[in-house]
Amino acid sequence: MFKKFVAKENVSGVTQMKSSAIRGVRAKLIEDYPGLEEFQDVILPKKESYNLVKCHERIEIIAIGGEPVFFRQRDGPYMPTLRLLHKYPTILPWQQVDKGAIRFVLSGANIMCPGLTSAGAKLAPAEEDSIVAIMAEGKTHSLSIGLMKLSSEEIHTVNKGIGIENIHYLNDGLWHMTQIK
């Protein structure tokens, strides 16, 4: 999604969000991410300016105080950015890949089932279509954010094909997007 994303070329408009829209987004985020409730006043402050950044391919980014914190494509769920996830790692449940998968994940490849079931990997219980953080064996921060294509049980039984779709990873276009004016 963000592999060839360049803010100057892909951003089509920035608008300030209305307070009613902000309340709706805050409520939806807290409902979707129970781990966010503990940090809601820090991550989603009530007195800060919220901007909605509209990009090509129907991508929307919510920037709070100029910093991108959540994004979504089309009418899908809002997902935290990796910068936010590095500050608050308990927001999302996480899956761990083995060392051999690191370079592929960092180049934007989807996470295959064998990379999630090998010796260095840890597969936590998760449902299909849930948002998860992708950790790597021996690393302390997330490599990417992904969408489970199969449930954890299905990944164990099938053990082939795509297990998690890689949506946002380190050093992609969204990672390099800094302040939004």
Q: What are phi and psi of 47, to 5 degrees?
A: -95, 5
pLDDT in tens, 78-119: 999 999 999 999 899 999 999 989 999 999 999 999 989 999
| 149, 163 contact by CB (below 8 A) | yes
| 70, 60 contact by CB (below 8 A) | no
**11-80 topology per CATH:** Sulfate adenylyltransferase (3.10.400)
Q: How far apart are CA 30 and CA 43, in angstroms?
A: 11
**Does the global pTM surpass 0.95?**
no
Token look-up 């946002």 returns: 168
pLDDT (0 to 100) of residue 178: 77
**Portions of the chain given CATH number 3.10.400.20:** 11-80, 94-169
CB contact set of 11 (below 8 Å; sequence gap of 6+): 53, 54, 55
Q: Which CATH class is domain 94-169?
A: alpha beta
Residues 135-163, mean pLDDT to the nearest whole number: 93
Tell me the DSSP string of 85-116: HHH-TTSS-EEEE-GGGHHHHHTTPPEEHHHH
pLDDT (0 to 100) of residue 128: 94
Residues 146-166, mean pLDDT to the nearest whole number: 94
Reported confidence tier of residue 1, pLDDT bands at 50, 70, 90: low
pLDDT (0 to 100) of residue 37: 87
Residues 119-124, mean pLDDT to the nearest whole number: 91
- Per-residue pLDDT for 8 more than 90? no
